[in-house]
Amino acid sequence: MPEQMRLQIYTTEAVNEKLEQRAEQADLSKSKYCEMVLKKHHGMDLNGRLARYSADEDIMETLDDGISSLAASIEELQAEATPDIEHLQSLRTMYVIALWELLKQEYSPAEREGAIKRAALEMSESRSGTTLPTQSDDGQTAQTSPLEALLAADR
């Protein structure tokens, strides 16, 4: 066991009380606590060699803090946005149902079924990023975006 050396410091009563509190919290004597603080501050491992700036601990602590902060921000955003999204979705559903009810009066069941199938196909293709072949007025086939067909009705 290495020889123990005495180190004496002078400080204020307030600092001394803080050291006593923190040493007690760490379940160490004041002397051992001060030794631990000095070693950490100077980046020394237990054998007295210089550690690699004790960056590993700092990086891990910073990452943990960042992850915790990010998770809290995501939870807060979800809590704030969910009611708005649910409201918008219910309005959208209401409009789709209203439009469908109006269209039911003007189109046969077969035409409505065909429209649903085409819509499902276009949605599936738009998710996969493929394009739909279309035929122009002069008879030539061209590739267009699935969204283009939907937007064409608005033009």
pLDDT tens string 103-123:
888 888 888 888 888 888 888
Structural domain contains residue 113: no
Q: What is the pLDDT of residue 138?
A: 61
Q: What is the pLDDT of residue 153?
A: 45
Q: What is the pLDDT of residue 107?
A: 86
* Mean pLDDT along residues 145-153: 49
60: left (phi over 0), alpha (psi -120 to 50) or beta: alpha
Structural domain contains residue 141: no
DSSP state of 92: H
Number of domains in the chain: 1
What is the C-alpha separation between 35 and 50, in angstroms, rounded? Answer: 15
| Number of residues that this document lists for the chain | 155
* Mean pLDDT along residues 40-62: 66
Domain that holds residue 18: 9-51
* DSSP character string of 17-70: HHHHHHHHHTTS-HHHHHHHHHHHHTTB-TTSPBPSTTHHHHHHHHHHHHHHHH
Structural domain contains residue 44: yes
Structural domain contains residue 19: yes
- With 0.95 as the threshold, say if the pTM is over it: no
Structural domain contains residue 135: no
Structural domain contains residue 133: no
Structural domain contains residue 71: no
Structural domain contains residue 29: yes
Residue type at 43? G
Give tens-digit pLDDT for 14-47: 999 999 999 999 999 999 998 888 887 776 665 5
